[in-house]
Amino acid sequence: MAVLYERRFEPYDGALTSRWARRLVIPRYAMRDILRSRMALITFVAGFALPAVSAAVIYARHNATVLELLGQGFVDQVSIGTEFYTTFLVMQGWMTFVLALVVGPPLMARDLSDNALPLYLSRPISRLTYGAGKLAVLLVPLSAITWLPVLLLSLLQYGFDGAPWWQEHGHAVPAAFLASWALILPLSMVTLALSSLVSRRWVARGLMLGAVFVSRGMAEAINAVLDTRWGYLISPTRVVGTVWNQLFGGSDLLTLTGGPTLTPLSGWIVLALACIVSALVIASRIRAYAEVRS
């Protein structure tokens, strides 16, 4: 450790970290901030409750002692297949939303409100590195409670039942993987875009809640007034439900109200548009300077 009481300015000629290590600095610091926030930490840990219960159920279905206690009916009731993954993702989907709601809004807002971007961008990192770093901070924890547990649970189930289970239900695993990304990628990008636009985190959270709940009511109103079903295009839950419905090959659980649904293509287009618009908004906000137009 150097002597700290001396006032001195010394050039640095020592070793530098690699470009990849520098790229990880932003997500590393942001993740540490998340873990310091009690609310974020509680939400993140709560996101592992269902995967833990699911793992326990899978184990219980293959444990003779537990089966003796619970009876064979338990095995018949809980089947690890499409229905299981759909239920799992619907429940984790809401958990994902809550986690994004807690973690997302401050991500860029605090850099922008304190004008820290010139300091980031005057260093050897690009705008893309900054944006990707911030996005990773959302994608990593959201992945940890969606597709990662899906894969681990599938591996566990495969370990117990082997190839016969895979042949019968294996198609649900890639579907669940894609369904997870169809949720977490647009959600992360929209959250980050909101964070870049709204400096107050509570306002950003309000907007996110409004986008999910108010838009459902508005969609129903549009459908009723215009006698159409395209009003659902503004409802994120309906759009994601439509896309998941296609991926899982149709499920009553995902149509929610059982009413008319969107076409899967329109759902994918809305999700893609959400990502593109968000990316454009984020890119326009990552600036080292304010451009003054005359």
Interface ranges with another protein (CB under 8 A): 1-2, 4-17, 22, 25-26, 29, 110-111, 113-116, 118-126, 288-289, 291-294
8 Å CB contact between 21 and 29: no
Nearest to another protein of 42, 119 (CB atom): 119
Instruction: Give the separation between CA 208 and CA 189, rounded to whole angstroms.
Output: 12
3-state secondary structure 172-199: HHHHHHHHHHHHHHHHHHHHHHHHHHCC
Nearest to another protein of 97, 120 (CB atom): 120
Compute the least distance from the CB of residue 61 to another protein, in Å.
46
Compute the least distance from the CB of residue 119 to another protein, in Å.
5
Of 29, 49, 50, 46, the residue nearest 38 (C-alpha)? 46
8 Å CB contact between 140 and 104: no
Instruction: Give the separation between CA 71 and CA 60, rounded to whole angstroms.
Output: 11
3-state SS, residue 115: coil
Compute the least distance from the CB of residue 20 to another protein, in Å.
12
Compute the least distance from the CB of residue 277 to another protein, in Å.
23
Nearest to another protein of 24, 275 (CB atom): 24
Task: Collect all residues with Cβ–Cβ distance below 8 Å to 92 and sequence separation of at least 6.
Answer: 47, 50, 51, 145, 146, 149
* Residue 242 CB coordination number (10 Å): 25
8 Å CB contact between 264 and 245: yes
Nearest to another protein of 17, 77 (CB atom): 17
Nearest to another protein of 41, 53 (CB atom): 41
Compute the least distance from the CB of residue 123 to another protein, in Å.
4
AA identity, residue 127 = R
Compute the least distance from the CB of residue 196 to another protein, in Å.
15
8 Å CB contact between 105 and 187: no
The DSSP code for 140 is: H
Instruction: Give the separation between CA 187 and CA 142, rounded to whole angstroms.
Output: 10
Nearest to another protein of 243, 286 (CB atom): 286
Nearest to another protein of 112, 153 (CB atom): 112
Compute the least distance from the CB of residue 23 to another protein, in Å.
10
